[in-house]
Amino acid sequence: MSSIAICDFDGVIADNAEHTKIAQERAKAYLLQQASSLDREDERKALSSFFYSEQGFFDNRLIEYDQLMAGCSEALACLSEQYDHVIVLTSRPLSMREATLQWFTRWCPGYENITFIFKDSDESTIKTAAWKAHIVASFAKQYHTILFIDDDKRNREAVTAIAANLHNVNIAVKSCFEECFLNAHLP
């Protein structure tokens, strides 16, 4: 058995703060155009629905605002040396695949061998935390050591909960590259 590092994309590799800000502004503008008779719950649902649409966060044109997280190149080098495989597990939909891979190739040259897993459209109704935990559990059948890096606490908690029931694999759960490489000199 071998080892695998599984990294989130947004918030771990890509700093998507500006991307997110623009999508939030679009969602708020959309909501203002709707009937003001929505109650708080319907308003929240409408905001979320628009935000996670191709007019919101999943607009491929917004990828140009993403920046590389500090220390990412060095961290990817360390992961590539220390683990047999490196996977990027993102809940971005398949409609963002090409644009995301082009961004990654531009910002992270030399790491084209890293595999990306995108959330398929038939998986869109599955909560991201459950989806990521399921993917990690499936890799636990093939690997002895797993490193899971995700900036979202819900995703880390879901993987930690699943890891408690997987006894033949060592799973480490981290929130960012800095946690993985405390002694490394990441910028």
CA distance linking residue 61 with residue 59, whole number of Å: 5
Q: For the chain, what are the domain ranges?
A: 2-16+67-180, 17-63
- What was the pLDDT predicted at 182? 64
Pairing outcome for strands 67-68 and 14-15: antiparallel
- Residue that has been written with the tokens 């308003």 in this structure: 43
Q: Is domain 2-16+67-180 classified as CATH 3.40.50.1000? A: yes
Q: CB–CB of 169/146 below 8 Å?
A: yes
- What was the pLDDT predicted at 50? 86
pLDDT class of 58 with cuts at 50, 70, 90: very high
- What was the pLDDT predicted at 52? 87
> What is the percentage of the chain residues whose pLDDT exceeds 90?
68
Output 185 or 144, whichever has higher pLDDT.
144
Angle between helices 153-163 and 128-139 (to 10 degrees): 40
- Residue that has been written with the tokens 């606490």 in this structure: 153
- What was the pLDDT predicted at 101? 96
Average pLDDT, the chain: 90
**Taking 90 as the threshold, does the pLDDT of residue 99 lie above it?**
yes
Per the structure block, which two tokens stand in for 175?
């929130």
* Digit-coded pLDDT (tens) for 3-56: 999 999 999 999 999 999 999 999 988 888 876 666 778 888 888 888 888 999
pTM for this prediction: 0.89
Residue 62 backbone phi and psi in degrees, to 5:
-75, -15
